[in-house]
Structure 1
Amino acid sequence: MIAPNTPRATYRFQFHKDFTFADAEALVPYLDDLGISHLYASPITTARSGSTHGYDVVDPTRINPELGGEPAFRSLVAALRTRGMGVIIDIVPNHMGVAGGENAWWNDVLARGQASDFARYFDIDWREKLVLPILGDPLAETLASDALKVEQVDGRYVLEAYGEHRLPIRDEDQATAATDDIAALHHHQHYRLESWRVANDELNWRRFFTINDLAGLRAEDSVVFDATHALYFRLYAEGLIDGVRVDHVDGLTDPAGYCRQLRARLDAIERPADAPPGPAYIVVEKILADGEPLSTDWGVDGTSGYDFMEQVTALLHAPAGAEPLAQLWADVSGRSADFAPEELRARQELLAWQFDAQHRRCVEAFVALARSAPECDGFTAGMLHRAIERLLWVFPVYRTYGTGDAAPASDAAIRDTVRQRVARFVPPGEGAVVDQILDWLAGGGPGDAALAADAVRRFQQLSAPIAAKAVEDTAFYRYGRLLSRNDVGFDAARMSLPIGEFHAAMIGRARDWPAAMLATATHDHKRGEDVRARLAVLSEVPGLWLGRVEHWLALAAPFAERVDPADTYMLLQTLFGAWPERLSASDADGLSAYAERVVAWQEKALREAKLRSSWEAPDEAYETHCHDVARALLSPDRSRAFLDDMVAFVVQIAPVADANSLAQVVLRYTVPGVPDLYQGTEAADLSLVDPDNRRPVDYARLRKAADVDTPNKMAIIQRLLRLRRKHPALFATGDYTPIAVTGLRSDQVLAFERSNSRTTLRCVVALRCAERYLDNVEGRTWWGDTVLGSGEAVADILAEQSVFIDVFDPSSA
């Protein structure tokens, strides 16, 4: 059964000081007209001043005043409730923002050390002072330059660094702080200031990935859980929210235990009579690897949709493009044609660099565990270091879910895969060490139980960020076979998903996760859904693309002499994929604006790749060369031939790209699950990675477009949302049955039915039909003898269109 709180369809808003609750309230009629049932909000708790995303929470007990505070939130909810709509909020249990001096809990820890009531809140190794890597130079140089001073703020003395950082001083030192030697004063504190460059090696507290401004929280501690979730429980109890999306659930010590506790606490709350009754709607931000299931016993409704985004995007790609596009990439770049070497190298580099401190502390935990077990006599620290290192090189998922004394059965297949993958890297005679670590991850093995829990926790909280940073935030920016296959939660090694596998995944969704989210655009995506849809066309026409690339590289050559060909080639893919609608080769202002968007993407891509530049040590000269190429190619005065050819190619493949776009839309709104619409993507989503995908949305333009009865993307969304509103039970609980397809084009048609006891939906979608559009083949000729299992000719259904949706409801016949 689907609970009353389960959304019919969500709309994601990114809140910040320039888009507040009041702005959202003004758009409630628009959302209602679209057919949205629930507003899906980015974090609403108090974040660092000026935050553009809300994930750097500094006070989880208050609604962010920059967004309008609780009064404005209540007003927004009232407007939604008047129209029978609800709210889902994004919550951040894994970490808090600790920069800028705005986090009172963190400040208390700095002032009082382990004596602070909040010391238990953060994942800190208190065997030494808390390391604060905030200085621009080593401490000695900072002291010598007088960049560290004592100032008085609100009647208390603080240490001020560079006029920017203000750090609490112990109570014991307040009386003499103004006259003490600053070096001695610093020595007495509970923290140790260091250069930001030592963070990777010296940090002794868990941060979020590699971000020193975000400190990990110990949500497994009941006191911490209660303090950080009290606001959410109150909002749910008052009927102001209907559920939550849990950010980065894999960062927690025990995700399964956390989710079960969250479910129990929310469902034990008595709701007001005028609010939809429980159970609460709970989804988790979880990256699932190929073939990795989400455990059905966590008490959640599913994921926030990255897995569907991967599945539907892969479905659009043609398998035949994999080899020629890989060869083209290798020929142009001089790099590996395959993704695996790029992933391995990135994992090795980041583990030895950005995660060195966390890696060493993980090894220390296993050394302590091994020393508590006589059976492990002979396991040296070096052996354990090598074993952990090599396991993390090849780990196929974000993490496993053991607790030191137990592990879910689903982890067994993961450990088997790891054991096979790691074999070629294990030094002779050290296989037993690897096996022992895998046994500990399985909840078995000898040694002290508390030490086992700590060691397993540290491994699992290291494997997740290694996967995220090495794969998605490094290798995806290095490997350029086809950029539409490099996105959050994607398997870049796989070009395409067979129709049969897609059907199997949807049958599984209907059975296990009928209320999981379905996303194709998010605040985290690297390329908008319609950028991916356009780039996917290249997998069907690699020969045509090769000719274009050779021509464009020749035209770019005079500007790109000092730029790595790999970077130029990824630039060309980006220019093509994100080319704005109706941008002409003579529109100087439009081209200039596009160039600045591309340059911003370029800077981030180069620094994330960490090959020719990085965030830690930007090579601004090289970045400038790359930016010059982008700006030159987008200048009508300097590159008219390139621009004319680019525009012609975008126009040429537009019908295929549009068909891909509509296929994504139709599947998102018809397969089992809750479709999410990311802000503004009801129109063409040709965005790039953040901050480009978080640009202000022109809702005045969208409202006008919504009133125009034309067969575009928005019109399809409106039609499908109206169907979902008219037939909620069908979409919420209806089964999913593939429709057999036979004949000439059977591998280019996806057809299925959704049905319940009363109503049946039939959906037919054309896939990978570039040849039809590019050669202008008449629909009936193209489909030939292709028929559905019922005997109906596909040519009768898709002769003039690429998607078909039909609902039969006997009660309305």
Structure 2
Amino acid sequence: VLENGPSSSYAPFFDIDWKPLKADLEDKVLLPILGDQYGRVLERGELQVRFEAGAFYLRYYEHEFPIAPGTYRHILEIALEKLAPFKHADFFAEFQSIITALEYLPRRTETDPERIAERAREKEIIKRRLERRCQEALQVQAAVIEAVEQINGKPGDPRSFDALDSLLNDQSYRLAFWRVAAEEINYRRFFDVNDLAAIRMELPEVFDATHRLLLELIAAGAVTGVRIDHPDGLYLPREYFEKLQRRAAAALEIPLPKDGRAVYLVVEKILTGNETLRTDWPVHGTTGYEFGKLVANVLVDSSAEQAITKAFQRFIGHSMPFGHLVYAKKLLVMRLSLANDVNVLGDMLDRLSEKNRWFRDFTLEALARAVRETIACFPVYRTYVTPGQPVSDEDRAIIERAVATAKRRNPALEESVFNFLRDILLLRFPENLDEEARVAHEHFVLKFQQSTAPIMAKGLEDTAFYIYNRLVALNEVGGEPQRFGISVDEFHALNAERQRDWPATLLATSTHDTKRSEDVRARILAISELPQLWRSSLPRWRTINRRWKRKLEDASAPDPNEEYLFYQTLLGSWPVDAAGRAERAASAEYIERIQAYMAKALKEAKVNTSWIQPNEEWDSAMSDFVARVLDSSPKNKFLPTFLPVAEEIARLGAINSLTQVALKLTAPGVPDIYQGNEIWNFSLVDPDNRRPVDYQQRRELRRRKNCCGNGRTAGSNYYSRNGSCGFDASRRNCSSAGTTSR
């Protein structure tokens, strides 16, 4: 695609807007990978053309990008001038012929299938001819190398880069400073990760190409279960699951079962509040985040909510309404990292309004604001409205609630603008739409639904969860930190619902995406059992450690909320030996882990520093604070007051951990044990939870447990942590469907 633009046979695979709002990007892909402004990078000589095997490419540090064959003439014409002394040689005429062939190559904007095939064929022939000519005539090779050196320019001579600038302007991509991605990127991504371009799975050719290997493995019996990550990014999720099950049945050479489920299939659907998994999806359940939330809520002591809330508010100096925080942070990410996603929706809605005399007076700004505000007020990750089918009661309620909330928050914005958006999302289109207009309206609905999930994830999980630090064990994927516990009766009722509706769903307590391992959360939950100890410890620790804060302009770093998170993190992860005694001093490795965690937490919060605009002074102050607070010298007054609390929290946390394991192994569903969590694991958010796992240690513990039988030896660490049912998945009192380990 980068080499051929819209004329690539793979161009339809990617969700690229070839006619974006920014006219300069027409028929191009924005590549925001530069570490500085384009002009500075260019004139520093960091962009270098290279020649190999008859083809030219551009190198920028570790990145390599193809040069469009039709633009080789920028370089080859310079080489031709250098070959002028040999104009009577045979190779000179052949070299001219290659340049002429480039002029007749179909343009990179061609979309006619025959012309695309011709371009694909002829460009490779031209490359082979150029490679052969360079091999057979050293003069040609030398001229090409000199031309490349010339076009690469010389730092200190700005005019020497004009030719390279002209060459790059002729490509199917535009290199740009990474900071422009949020507002100008013209392809759909995985959240805001520029390197992960989204593909259009709704197209048959894309589905076939991306599922060929999977279906072969299913047919061979090598794969018996499939996990679909981020299904909310699909254009039509239910239709995708149905197609996957049909194709799996065909691969297995069996009729499609009546329930539509030919292969075990779970989806990483994040459910919020009272939301439930759609029963018309032919899947076996989710990847289990809602179970982790459920266990946390039954283990937290709900009677301590008021005391914990007061301790939090007293320490940070103000209240923090969670609903408003999420709303504000969703707006923030729509401004910072996902701005263009919303801009595109606003432009699409504006085009729809322009086609109807009743709505054409709505301004682009008003429509874009209505889109932003409605998404910010969305109570779930997305809806699943499908054109041609009735809107479900659940989806209707979600949309109407979001629009109503957005109206209340924006009394100055005309109500009819919100009504226009609401009616389109509910498929209540204006009358007398022609086919083209109807398709455009339906496309807007589906693109809107694709956009709400990443905004929720970035605003809630990756921002608000790092700010609302009341009791961070509740700040988990799919979690509701504002909800402080549930009753045992509620817990049993929800388990009964799962047994009835989704008996084969996964039960997860730790994954690659959890903010903290299950054992860290179990300890932090124990704070709710000791609210008075927590409330009395906080001011003591703050007083002791105040001297390690750094004064920066009008604030001290870290701020109170960051410090509050820091103490919870220490209690959740502090090393404790087999006898339950807290380690007397923090190791250098542990200090580095906490520094890395706090650095990430602060950047995700986007309050005093961020990934986009790092505040190096603040980051340095936080890192220094961690090091000084955890210093093991006798003069450190913090550790003697902290360690007794850590030991008590660890004791209660161990009980929570074992309870958690017992519940996971006995509740309806399929227990999912994340790599490394077969034994105690006190990891934090990635990359901490993706460190290499010591499997040899686990094998040895398992061997010793098997040898000694009763688990009352050194192997009891393994046995007591995950051996409550002897790993006998056939025992239905242990699990209704077995155990998975990833």
Establish whether TM, by shorter chain, passes 0.5. yes
Q: How far apart in 1 are the matches of 2:735 and 2:468? A: 38
Matched, 1:694 2:694: no
- In structure 2, the residue matched to 1:805 is none
SS at match of 2:607: coil
User: Which deviates more, 664-673 or 630-639?
Assistant: 630-639
Q: How far apart in 2 are the matches of 1:252 and 1:524? A: 20
What aligned pairs does 1:371-450 form with structure 2 within 5 A after superposition? 371-406=354-389, 407-428=391-412, 430-446=414-430, 447=433, 448-450=437-439
Q: How far apart in 2 are the matches of 1:429 and 1:655? A: 55
SS at match of 1:725: coil
Matched, 1:197 2:179: yes
Rate the CA distance shift 1:650–1:585 in 2: closer, same or farther, 3 A: closer
RMSD: 2.3
Q: How far apart in 2 are the matches of 1:417 and 1:733? A: 37
Larger C-alpha radius of gyration, 1 or 2? 2
Q: How far apart in 1 are the matches of 2:169 and 2:56? A: 16
- In structure 1, the residue matched to 2:8 is 116
Q: Contact conserved, 1:246 with 1:284, CA < 8 A, in 2?
A: yes
Q: How far apart in 1 are the matches of 2:236 and 2:376? A: 23
What aligned pairs does 1:387-786 form with structure 2 within 5 A after superposition? 387-406=370-389, 407-428=391-412, 430-446=414-430, 447=433, 448-562=437-551, 563=557, 564-582=559-577, 588=585, 590-637=586-633, 640-706=636-702, 707-708=704-705, 709-710=710-711, 714-716=718-720, 718-722=722-726, 724-728=728-732, 731-732=735-736
Rate the CA distance shift 1:142–1:655 in 2: closer, same or farther, 3 A: closer
Letter in 2 for 1:160: R
Q: Contact conserved, 2:661 with 2:722, CA < 8 A, in 1?
A: no
User: Which deviates more, 423-432 or 454-463?
Assistant: 423-432
SS at match of 1:123: coil
User: Which deviates more, 453-462 or 329-338?
Assistant: 329-338
Q: How far apart in 2 are the matches of 1:551 and 1:368? A: 60
Among candidates 153, 156, 171, match of residue 69 of structure 2: 171
Q: How far apart in 1 are the matches of 2:635 and 2:659? A: 34
Letter in 2 for 1:270: L
The superposition leaves residues 710-748 of structure 1 with CA deviations (integer Å, 9 ceiling, x where unpaired) of 3656424654443743425984389xxxxxxxxxxxxxx
Q: How far apart in 2 are the matches of 1:381 and 1:615? A: 30
SS at match of 2:265: strand
Rate the CA distance shift 1:404–1:411 in 2: closer, same or farther, 3 A: same
The superposition leaves residues 765-813 of structure 1 with CA deviations (integer Å, 9 ceiling, x where unpaired) of xxxxxxxxxxxxxxxxxxxxxxxxxxxxxxxxxxxxxxxxxxxxxxxxx
The normalised TM-score by structure 1 is 0.73
Q: CA deviation at 1:464?
A: 0.6
Q: Contact conserved, 1:132 with 1:194, CA < 8 A, in 2?
A: yes
Rate the CA distance shift 1:507–1:543 in 2: closer, same or farther, 3 A: same
User: Which deviates more, 691-700 or 136-145?
Assistant: 136-145
Q: CA deviation at 1:413?
A: 2.5
- In structure 2, the residue matched to 1:343 is 326
The superposition leaves residues 225-254 of structure 1 with CA deviations (integer Å, 9 ceiling, x where unpaired) of 110111100111111110210011111111
Rate the CA distance shift 1:717–1:595 in 2: closer, same or farther, 3 A: closer
Q: CA deviation at 1:371?
A: 2.6
Q: Contact conserved, 1:599 with 1:630, CA < 8 A, in 2?
A: yes
Runs of 5+ unmatched residues, structure 1 = 1-108, 273-277, 735-813
Q: How far apart in 1 are the matches of 2:237 and 2:12? A: 19
User: Which deviates more, 310-319 or 398-407?
Assistant: 398-407
- In structure 2, the residue matched to 1:37 is none
Q: How far apart in 2 are the matches of 1:191 and 1:603? A: 34
SS at match of 1:152: strand
Q: How far apart in 2 are the matches of 1:639 and 1:424? A: 56
Letter in 2 for 1:173: T
- In structure 1, the residue matched to 2:284 is 301
Q: CA deviation at 1:293?
A: 1.1
Q: Contact conserved, 1:287 with 1:489, CA < 8 A, in 2?
A: yes
Q: How far apart in 1 are the matches of 2:734 and 2:547? A: 59
SS at match of 1:525: coil
Q: CA deviation at 1:388?
A: 0.8
Among candidates 204, 223, 227, match of residue 241 of structure 1: 223
Q: Contact conserved, 1:585 with 1:643, CA < 8 A, in 2?
A: no
- In structure 1, the residue matched to 2:29 is 130
The superposition leaves residues 610-639 of structure 1 with CA deviations (integer Å, 9 ceiling, x where unpaired) of 111111222222112111121122221066
- In structure 1, the residue matched to 2:304 is 321
Q: How far apart in 2 are the matches of 1:622 and 1:271? A: 61
- In structure 1, the residue matched to 2:339 is 356
Rate the CA distance shift 1:632–1:638 in 2: closer, same or farther, 3 A: farther
Q: How far apart in 2 are the matches of 1:718 and 1:494? A: 29
The normalised TM-score by structure 2 is 0.80
The superposition leaves residues 284-317 of structure 1 with CA deviations (integer Å, 9 ceiling, x where unpaired) of 0111011111111110111001111111111111
Q: Contact conserved, 1:523 with 1:690, CA < 8 A, in 2?
A: yes
Q: How far apart in 2 are the matches of 1:675 and 1:463? A: 30
Rate the CA distance shift 1:417–1:503 in 2: closer, same or farther, 3 A: farther
Q: Contact conserved, 1:404 with 1:444, CA < 8 A, in 2?
A: no
User: Which deviates more, 577-586 or 169-178?
Assistant: 577-586
The superposition leaves residues 491-531 of structure 1 with CA deviations (integer Å, 9 ceiling, x where unpaired) of 12112122222222211111110000000010111111011
Matched, 1:182 2:80: no
Rate the CA distance shift 1:267–1:375 in 2: closer, same or farther, 3 A: farther
Q: Contact conserved, 1:329 with 1:337, CA < 8 A, in 2?
A: no
SS at match of 2:470: coil
- In structure 2, the residue matched to 1:33 is none
Q: CA deviation at 1:271?
A: 6.2
Letter in 2 for 1:321: A
Rate the CA distance shift 1:428–1:608 in 2: closer, same or farther, 3 A: closer
Matched, 1:160 2:59: yes
Rate the CA distance shift 1:415–1:724 in 2: closer, same or farther, 3 A: farther
SS at match of 1:376: coil
SS at match of 1:193: strand
Q: How far apart in 2 are the matches of 1:404 and 1:367? A: 20
User: Which deviates more, 599-608 or 147-156?
Assistant: 147-156
Q: How far apart in 1 are the matches of 2:665 and 2:419? A: 45
SS at match of 2:736: helix
- In structure 1, the residue matched to 2:158 is none
Rate the CA distance shift 1:335–1:125 in 2: closer, same or farther, 3 A: farther
Runs of 5+ unmatched residues, structure 2 = 20-25, 79-150, 152-162, 255-260, 552-556
Matched, 1:227 2:220: no
Higher helix share: 2
User: Which deviates more, 690-699 or 524-533?
Assistant: 690-699
- In structure 2, the residue matched to 1:756 is none
- In structure 1, the residue matched to 2:88 is none
Q: Contact conserved, 1:436 with 1:445, CA < 8 A, in 2?
A: no
Q: CA deviation at 1:405?
A: 4.2
Rate the CA distance shift 1:634–1:156 in 2: closer, same or farther, 3 A: same
Q: How far apart in 1 are the matches of 2:634 and 2:446? A: 57
Equivalenced residue count is 620
Rate the CA distance shift 1:585–1:301 in 2: closer, same or farther, 3 A: closer
Q: Contact conserved, 1:283 with 1:517, CA < 8 A, in 2?
A: yes
Q: How far apart in 2 are the matches of 1:287 and 1:623? A: 32
What aligned pairs does 1:68-79 form with structure 2 within 5 A after superposition? none
Q: How far apart in 2 are the matches of 1:464 and 1:586? A: 42
